[in-house]
A and B are shown apart, each in its own frame.
Chain A
Amino acid sequence: MPGGSYDQSPTSSSSSLLPSVFPSASPKQTNMPDFEERQSLLGDENEGSFTGRQTARGPDRPMPAICDPSHLLHRVVVLLFMCFLGFGSYFCYDNPAALQTQVIQDLNLNTAKFMQLYAWYSWPNVILCFFGGFLLDRVFGIRLGTIIFSLFVCVGQVIFATGALVNRFWLMELGRFVFGIGGESLAVAQNTYAVNWFKGKELNLVFGLQLSMARLGSTVNMNIMGWVYSRVEDLVGSGHTALGISLMIAAVTCLFSLVCALVLAFLDKRAERILHKEEGKTGEVIKLTDVKDFPFPLWLIFIICVGYYVAIFPFIGLGQVFFIEKFNFSPAEARAVNSIVYIISAPASPVLGFMVDKTGRNVVWVITAVVATLAAHMMLAFTFWNPWIAMSLLGVSYSLLACALWPMVAFVVPEHQLGTAYGFMQSIQNLGLALIAMAAGAILDTRGYLVLEVFFCACICIALIAVVMLYFVDYLRGGDLNQSAAARAKLQKEATSDAEIKRRPSRLTEGELARLAPMSAFGLRNRYLSRLGAQLPDHCSSHLSSLAHRSVLK
């Protein structure tokens, strides 16, 4: 068990609840994982001492700003590589959707088989959601781990493309499986790098940029792959060869990402040598036995998550042909409208995240998002209205849901179970995605788009039922899921003053601790909101690698 090695005794877990900005006296203080994970390597307080140490130990040679790991300019360069680290994986994830007609035609597939390509991506992540962080922290380390996961992505895409070249579908499925092993974990690694380099500085902005990069990858893929295919087709003629070559071209983005991973590893190693800093950690603590302690509202949140996302991703996977056949769109137009969800969520996520953060009342926002999504799906199912309307609504509600739903987990489980809760949530989400992707293909093949859309509506309805139940359960339990931000702030204030009083004795004895900004449980949970791009005070923002998975980043 990955989390088993962490000390979960009451004393240490209470110490792990201590706040985040923790200037460690010695960088070698590795026996306390929580300290080291939150350690701001380039924190304001530390910078001076690092520089001092550097000049003291190293030969006194001035470095240009761009090469100096402690300088902003250098970090911008690092950021560039960090952003492109995930580009390949996001670009290639939706390759099948962008080339749906071509894949089906060139390989003589039916839709059910086509959707297997998505299912095979999800299968490894049913398990890996629990172990990705562990592998990065304990087995490979962030640098080697990133390179390995990039390799998986790269090799997976190459296998996928080779399968198309030689017209072997099982090989393509294998490729998607290998690709899936790398893809989600790479997002975790990317996130960890960001925290490692930017914590306490421009972290929110960096997360925002990574988010935009992810969407850029998806959008560019949706809109360019058709063109690439037609160019290749002009050269070698139609058929699986053209498809294979197009996918090989797409694999170049993965190769590019692999190069980024290598460069990052080098730069990180170099920074470590110069600044004597630690390798970044995801800080994920997974303890599967926690599952039995999950409160009822958390299970409802799981149901919402699964019910909602299975009606989004498989739909986007099948969307292109739907728009062509039902709305008589041209393939290019269909690809554009299919990618609008991603395009909208790029600017909408930070704005909506800010809004949800300022108003609170997460359950009402989730209900709004689910109802809006239901309305969008019903529009697509029962009307001939221009799909731009429905898809835009879907894009906005999808972003709103991500902003309102994911932070709720942090309100219902204690801090030390968060990693497990998020891991579990992603695991069953991936399981749901894999199963529903297969079911969706089979339904489309035999019953057509109306029944498929009705099926998606039914999934959303299940999510709606769960969220309505969540509303009442939370109301009756007097939970804080649906409190306004003002009420939460008040609670936080009370909790803070409580904490102040409690800590006073220790403050007197331990001078080191006195420098800590006291934080309530809410304050700690607040850190997770930062994942969604909301601008929070820096002392609130931290990282949670398990949130870095595709479903949130998109």
Chain B
Amino acid sequence: MAAVALCSSRSLVFLFSVFILFSGGETFIRQLSVELNPGSTSTPPGGDLLHVRAVGDNDTLHFLFCSQGAPTLLLVHTNSSSSTVKVDWSQFVAPNTSGSLKVEPESSVQYSSAVVFSKLLEYDDVNDTADPTSDLLPPYELQDFTWSRLNLSGPTALLCGSAPNATNGSLCLKLSVFDSEGRSQSWPRLLHTANSSQLGVWLDGLLPRATRSRFLLELQAVGRTDPPSRVEVHQSIDDEYTPSIFQVSQWVSSENGSSDVLGFVQWKPVAYRRSDPVLEDATPCRHSDPRPQSGKAAPSGLIRAFYSDPDVFGLNVSFGLGGEPFYNSTRFLSWTMLVGVGSPPVDSFSPLVVTIMAVGLGTPVVLLLLGGVWVCVKKRAAASTTAYEPIN
């Protein structure tokens, strides 16, 4: 019992410290400015370029989102609050030219990495094992998709594309950049900071080519020297924001041999089969190990324009496990990830949980102490006044 008491008191201390952390932590705020096709006089052919500049106290984050070729999000971190993006548009729209997009001054660039959505893979899961190595159907190359113009609303941008020969159905990406810490309203409700942006991907109404189709998404991480190269899977006891999901996966980049994380792609291993999901619409995801993609240039205009000889790592995210309903059941799949610099954000208990536990554990303890004192006082009073009377 003593051990239990110790345990509960320790957790109380822990809970209180979390509580202090909650109330005491001040949020870091960045100034956001959004610019579509910076420096261009006309709408460029082949896709828009979105530039979101997030200025902090003494640094700037440049979020560049582009649909020239495969959709790409490029994140550049500079240590100057006045760094800018320069685009040479005549070169930028021309294929096979590099160096048309620069962040100036170039010496201020601390870190840059990009995520490219390169392929959508579909396979016929005949045996319902969700093993994507068998029966792969011809992949959708996302660079061949017909991409819409970017649909902006504040610091979020929506990009939808459809497959070359498909009559209906689309793959959409939604980029949200944030000026401060928070969570979006819909699941998986990832915690974001001012140092990260959220990318939601969903597949809506695309006709499956088999009745038992499942999908995979091929992602590439691109960087000049240290692209995200390893995936860490962390267990988390906290599934409050993403019910029934107790893991978070982080695709991180770090300098050789160092444990400091420079940039990350973070996601929870869950996708949803409806646009307005309930818990039963959640479907688990898995990812393959990231593998270096030597000599395979990512098919993205933005990568070509910014990097001359980048390092590329690729991995696949597969949606659904054996026994889970197939894509055909709802013809919808949505998945969300976070892309940012620095260390990935870590979930902590919500004030609700902390309050309930503090009150729940605190009240009996307080009651026990008060009652003990009361009984002692009463006993002493009884002993001093009626010393010779039996207590009962």
Residues of A within 8 A of B371 (CB): 468-469, 471-472
- Tell me the minimal C-beta distance from B236 to chain A in angstroms: 9
Which of B335-384 touch A at CB < 8 Å?
A: 349, 352-353, 356-357, 359-361, 363-364, 367-368, 371, 374-375, 378
A394 touches B (CB below 8 Å): no
Residues of B within 8 A of A451 (CB): 240, 352-353
B244 touches A (CB below 8 Å): yes
> How far is A325 from B359 in the complex, measured between Cα atoms in Å?
28
Render B123-155 as a binary contact track against A, CB cut-off 8 A, 1 for contact.
000000000000000000000000000000000
Which of A392-426 touch B at CB < 8 Å?
A: none
Determine if A448 and B367 form an interchain contact, defined as CB atoms under 8 angstroms apart: no
Determine if A447 and B237 form an interchain contact, defined as CB atoms under 8 angstroms apart: no
Within 8 Å by CB of B279, from A326, A444, A469, A472, lies A444
> How far is A462 from B8 in the complex, measured between Cα atoms in Å?
16
A476 touches B (CB below 8 Å): yes
Determine if A449 and B357 form an interchain contact, defined as CB atoms under 8 angstroms apart: no
Determine if B368 and A468 form an interchain contact, defined as CB atoms under 8 angstroms apart: yes
- Tell me the minimal C-beta distance from B14 to chain A in angstroms: 9
B328 touches A (CB below 8 Å): no
A59 touches B (CB below 8 Å): no
| Stretch of A17-25, A106-114, A188-196, A254-262 with 4 or more beta carbons under 8 angstroms from chain B | A106-114
- Tell me the minimal C-beta distance from B193 to chain A in angstroms: 22
- Tell me the minimal C-beta distance from B169 to chain A in angstroms: 23
Determine if B4 and A371 form an interchain contact, defined as CB atoms under 8 angstroms apart: yes
Determine if A468 and B375 form an interchain contact, defined as CB atoms under 8 angstroms apart: no
> How far is A468 from B367 in the complex, measured between Cα atoms in Å?
7
Total contacts A to B, CB within 8 angstroms? 99
Determine if A372 and B4 form an interchain contact, defined as CB atoms under 8 angstroms apart: yes
A265 touches B (CB below 8 Å): no
Determine if A461 and B364 form an interchain contact, defined as CB atoms under 8 angstroms apart: yes
Within 8 Å by CB of A450, from B1, B237, B392, lies B237
Which of B238-280 touch A at CB < 8 Å?
A: 238-246, 278-280
> How far is A127 from B356 in the complex, measured between Cα atoms in Å?
32
What interface size band does chain B fall in? 35 or more
B13 touches A (CB below 8 Å): no
Determine if B279 and A461 form an interchain contact, defined as CB atoms under 8 angstroms apart: no
B11 touches A (CB below 8 Å): yes
Residues of B within 8 A of A458 (CB): 356, 360
- Tell me the minimal C-beta distance from B275 to chain A in angstroms: 17
Within 8 Å by CB of A449, from B7, B11, B243, B364, lies B243
Q: Which residue of B lies closest to A111 (CB)?
A: B279
Given contacts A371-B1, A454-B357, A468-B368, contact A383 B237 (CB under 8 A): yes
Q: Which residue of A lies closest to B241 (CB)?
A: A448
A475 touches B (CB below 8 Å): yes
Residues of A within 8 A of B361 (CB): 461
A457 touches B (CB below 8 Å): yes
Q: Which residue of A lies closest to B352 (CB)?
A: A451
Render A31-60 as a binary contact track against B, CB cut-off 8 A, 1 for contact.
000000000000000000000000000000
Residues of A within 8 A of B364 (CB): 461, 464-465, 468
Determine if A325 and B246 form an interchain contact, defined as CB atoms under 8 angstroms apart: yes
Q: Which residue of B lies closest to A368 (CB)?
A: B1
Determine if B7 and A375 form an interchain contact, defined as CB atoms under 8 angstroms apart: yes
Render A531-554 as a binary contact track against B, CB cut-off 8 A, 1 for contact.
000000000000000000000000
Given contacts A325-B244, A454-B357, contact A110 B279 (CB under 8 A): yes
- Tell me the minimal C-beta distance from B248 to chain A in angstroms: 14
Interface centre among B235, B280, B378 (most CB of A within 10 A): B280
Determine if B243 and A445 form an interchain contact, defined as CB atoms under 8 angstroms apart: yes
Determine if B375 and A450 form an interchain contact, defined as CB atoms under 8 angstroms apart: no
Determine if A449 and B1 form an interchain contact, defined as CB atoms under 8 angstroms apart: no
Determine if B240 and A448 form an interchain contact, defined as CB atoms under 8 angstroms apart: yes
Interface centre among B243, B356, B371, B375 (most CB of A within 10 A): B243
Residues of B within 8 A of A110 (CB): 278-280
Render B179-206 as a binary contact track against A, CB cut-off 8 A, 1 for contact.
0000000000000000000000000000
A381 touches B (CB below 8 Å): yes
Determine if A381 and B237 form an interchain contact, defined as CB atoms under 8 angstroms apart: yes
> How far is A372 from B325 in the complex, measured between Cα atoms in Å?
40
Determine if B237 and A444 form an interchain contact, defined as CB atoms under 8 angstroms apart: no
> How far is A108 from B392 in the complex, measured between Cα atoms in Å?
63
> How far is A457 from B352 in the complex, measured between Cα atoms in Å?
13
- Tell me the minimal C-beta distance from B39 to chain A in angstroms: 46
> How far is A450 from B232 in the complex, measured between Cα atoms in Å?
22
> How far is A374 from B364 in the complex, measured between Cα atoms in Å?
12
Residues of A within 8 A of B245 (CB): 325, 448
Given contacts A110-B278, A110-B280, A461-B361, contact A444 B243 (CB under 8 A): yes
A478 touches B (CB below 8 Å): yes
Within 8 Å by CB of A445, from B238, B278, B353, B360, lies B278
Residues of A within 8 A of B356 (CB): 454-455, 457-458
Given contacts A448-B242, A465-B363, contact A472 B353 (CB under 8 A): no
> How far is A457 from B354 in the complex, measured between Cα atoms in Å?
12
Determine if B360 and A448 form an interchain contact, defined as CB atoms under 8 angstroms apart: no
Residues of A within 8 A of B4 (CB): 371-372, 375
Residues of A within 8 A of B352 (CB): 451
Determine if B367 and A469 form an interchain contact, defined as CB atoms under 8 angstroms apart: yes
> How far is A235 from B371 in the complex, measured between Cα atoms in Å?
64
> How far is A462 from B364 in the complex, measured between Cα atoms in Å?
8
- Tell me the minimal C-beta distance from B183 to chain A in angstroms: 13
- Tell me the minimal C-beta distance from A139 to chain B in angstroms: 44
Residues of B within 8 A of A449 (CB): 239, 243-244, 246
Residues of B within 8 A of A381 (CB): 237
Which of B279-297 touch A at CB < 8 Å?
A: 279-280
Residues of A within 8 A of B242 (CB): 448
> How far is A374 from B363 in the complex, measured between Cα atoms in Å?
14
Which of B1-17 touch A at CB < 8 Å?
A: 1, 4, 7-8, 11
> How far is A462 from B360 in the complex, measured between Cα atoms in Å?
7
Determine if A478 and B240 form an interchain contact, defined as CB atoms under 8 angstroms apart: no
Given contacts A368-B1, A371-B4, contact A475 B375 (CB under 8 A): yes
A495 touches B (CB below 8 Å): no
Which of A331-378 touch B at CB < 8 Å?
A: 368, 371-372, 374-375, 378
Residues of A within 8 A of B244 (CB): 321, 325-326, 444, 448-449
Given contacts A449-B243, A476-B375, contact A457 B360 (CB under 8 A): yes
Q: Which residue of B lies closest to A455 (CB)?
A: B356
Q: Which residue of B lies closest to A324 (CB)?
A: B244
Given contacts A450-B238, A454-B353, A471-B371, contact A478 B243 (CB under 8 A): no
Q: Which residue of B lies closest to A462 (CB)?
A: B360
Q: Which residue of B lies closest to A101 (CB)?
A: B323
Determine if A446 and B243 form an interchain contact, defined as CB atoms under 8 angstroms apart: yes
- Tell me the minimal C-beta distance from A110 to chain B in angstroms: 5
> How far is A478 from B391 in the complex, measured between Cα atoms in Å?
9
Residues of A within 8 A of B235 (CB): 384
> How far is A338 from B8 in the complex, measured between Cα atoms in Å?
25
- Tell me the minimal C-beta distance from A359 to chain B in angstroms: 15
> How far is A104 from B278 in the complex, measured between Cα atoms in Å?
12
- Tell me the minimal C-beta distance from A311 to chain B in angstroms: 11
Q: Which residue of B lies closest to A378 (CB)?
A: B11
> How far is A372 from B7 in the complex, measured between Cα atoms in Å?
12
Q: Which residue of B lies closest to A478 (CB)?
A: B392
Determine if A382 and B240 form an interchain contact, defined as CB atoms under 8 angstroms apart: no
Determine if B360 and A109 form an interchain contact, defined as CB atoms under 8 angstroms apart: no
Residues of A within 8 A of B239 (CB): 326, 448-450
> How far is A124 from B61 in the complex, measured between Cα atoms in Å?
63
> How far is A460 from B361 in the complex, measured between Cα atoms in Å?
10
Which of A186-212 touch B at CB < 8 Å?
A: none
Could you list 6 further interchain pairs (A-B, Cβ under 8 angstroms) beyond the known A450-B237, A450-B353, A451-B240? A381-B237, A445-B243, A448-B240, A448-B244, A457-B357, A460-B360
Could you pull out 20 A-B pairs where Cβ atoms are within 8 angstroms? A109-B280, A321-B244, A326-B239, A326-B244, A378-B11, A384-B235, A444-B244, A445-B243, A447-B240, A447-B243, A449-B239, A449-B246, A450-B238, A450-B239, A461-B361, A464-B364, A468-B367, A468-B368, A469-B371, A471-B371
